[in-house]
Amino acid sequence: MSLKNVFTDWSRYRKGIEEGGFHDYEHMWGMAVDLNKCIGCNACAVACYAENNLAVVGEEKFYKGQAMHWMRIERYWDEPDLGEDRVKEFNHHGANFIPMMCQNCNAATCEPVCPVAATYHTPDGLNAQVYNRCIGSRYCSNNCPYRLRFFNFYSYYESSWPEPLHMQLNPDLTVRDKGVMEKCTFCVQRIRAAKDKARREDRKVRDGEFLPACAQTCPTGAITFGDLLTLHTPGGGVGETKVAQMWRDHQVELGKTRQTKQNPELRGYRVFEGLNTDPCVMYLERVREV
């Protein structure tokens, strides 16, 4: 079972590269995050807690690195691209924020190491986690270069949702128990609901018809979510999604470890793409007046 999955995933991935696209996929969910707009406010992260039943672990466990924030806003002070000056006295350009959620890599480094194939790739292009197959080996989180997998070291049901806080829990997904790995799912329950609805109405899912919780709440609209499938259709094809258009505009392509842009000044980039993870999240560079 596990080996078969691994091979299927990898052959599909290789085919994707060789044939320029993921033709047998139903969808290829992806994002574009504009760091010129993101203000680092953290609304997306809390929205994710609310939507996805994320446990609050408390100060001590947070210190041990056991927090369950599927979405976190990283903040750095240096700006390597603007010529970091070690002696400068102040951070005159403010902070460097980046919202980090599972990058849903097409060549996810977490997938092939799972001994039981609890983490695998769906025909939607999602990196999925099968909770009831997960045995808690934690190989996947060890292998995630982005540190975006979160392990339930404890059972948090009692401590995180004392009554009546538990009444807030989203019935569309589970509360994960001790020993299970979890991570951003691109709000798969919302994807599911939208697909089911589309199927009932005998049509395709429309671009923007649903949003993940983080993209939905973002006050600046920094997060664009949608289907990247048309990305490898020359010219975008009919009905190119907004997110695919952004990737195209910024000349960022899937299946590459290094982008060959005609215009290297375009802002799109993927974090750590040189590691050949082929992430489905593109960031647009932060902008500063100098």
Partner 1 sequence: MSNKVNRRDFLKIMGWSGVGATLAGCDLPTTVTLEEGKEEVVSYLMPEEFVIPGIGVWYASTCLQCPAGCGVHGRVREGRVLKLEGNPESPINRGRLCQMGQSGVQAHYNPDRITQPMLRKNGGLTPVSWHDALEVLAQRTGPGSGLTGERFAWFTDTISGHQAVLLDAHLKAMGSDNHYVHEVINNSVTRAVNRDMLGEEQPRLRFDKARVVLSFGADFLGTWQSPVHNATEYAKFRSPPRGVLVQVEPNMSLTGANADLWVPVRPGTEGLLALAIAKVLATKHRKPLDKLPAAVQELILGYDVNEVARITGASGDHIIKIAGWLSERSPSLVIAGATAEGHEQGYQIVAAIMLLNIILGNVGETIEPAGEFPFPQLTARTGGTRSLVDFAKALEEKRYDVVFFRGANPVYTAPKALGLAQKLEGVGFKVAFSMFQDETTALADLVLPMRSPAEDWGTHVPAYQGEDRVISVQQPLMEPLYTETRGFGDVMLSLLKMHKVAGYSDYEDYYAYLRDAFAAMPAVLKENHSDDSFWARALQKGVIPVPTTQGSLTVKTAAVEVPGDSGRGEYPYFLVPAARLGMWDGRHANIPWLQEAPDQITKVVWNSWAEMHPSTARKLGVKTGDAVRIASSQGTIEANVYVYKGIHPDVIAVPMGRGHEAYGRYAQGRGVNPLKILDPVTERKTGELALMATRVQVSRASNEKVMVKLGGSESQLGRKIVATVTADVFERTEGGA
Does 152 help bind partner 1 (rule: CB under 8 A)?
no
- Exposure pattern of 219-249 as b/e (b: 16+ CB <10 Å)? eeebbbbbbbbbbbeeeeeeebbebbbbbbe
Partner that binds at residue 157, options ligand SF4, partner 1, none, CB closer than 5 to 8 Å by kind: none
184 scored as a contact of ligand SF4 (CB under 6 A): yes
Task: Provide the sign of the torsion angle of the four alpha carbons 235, 240, 242, 244, taken in this order.
Answer: negative
Residue 63 interface partner, choices partner 1, ligand SF4, none, CB cut-off 5-8 Å depending on type: partner 1
Q: Which of residues 31-60 bind ligand SF4 (CB under 6 A)?
A: 38-44, 47-48, 51-52
Rounded Cα distance between 77 and 63, Å, is 21
Q: Which of residues 89-128 bind ligand SF4 (CB under 6 A)?
A: 99, 101
289 binds, among ligand SF4, partner 1, none (CB under 5 to 8 A by kind): partner 1
Q: 261: helix, coil or strand?
A: coil
Name, in order, each residue with C-beta under 8 angstroms of 5's C-beta and a sequence gap of 6 or more.
Answer: 117, 120
Site for partner 1 in 167-186 (CB under 8 A): 167-171
Q: Are 250 and 266 in contact (CB under 8 A)?
A: yes
Between strands 119-121 and 96-100, the pairing is unpaired
223 binds, among partner 1, ligand SF4, none (CB under 5 to 8 A by kind): ligand SF4
Decide: is 192 part of the binding site for partner 1 (CB under 8 A).
no
From the CB of 115, what's the least distance to partner 1, in Å?
28
Residue 156 or 186 with smaller CB distance to ligand SF4: 186
Alpha-carbon span 229 to 62, nearest angstrom: 38
Residue ranges binding ligand SF4 (CB under 6 A): 38-44, 47-48, 51-52, 70-71, 73, 99, 101, 184-187, 212-214, 218-220, 222-223
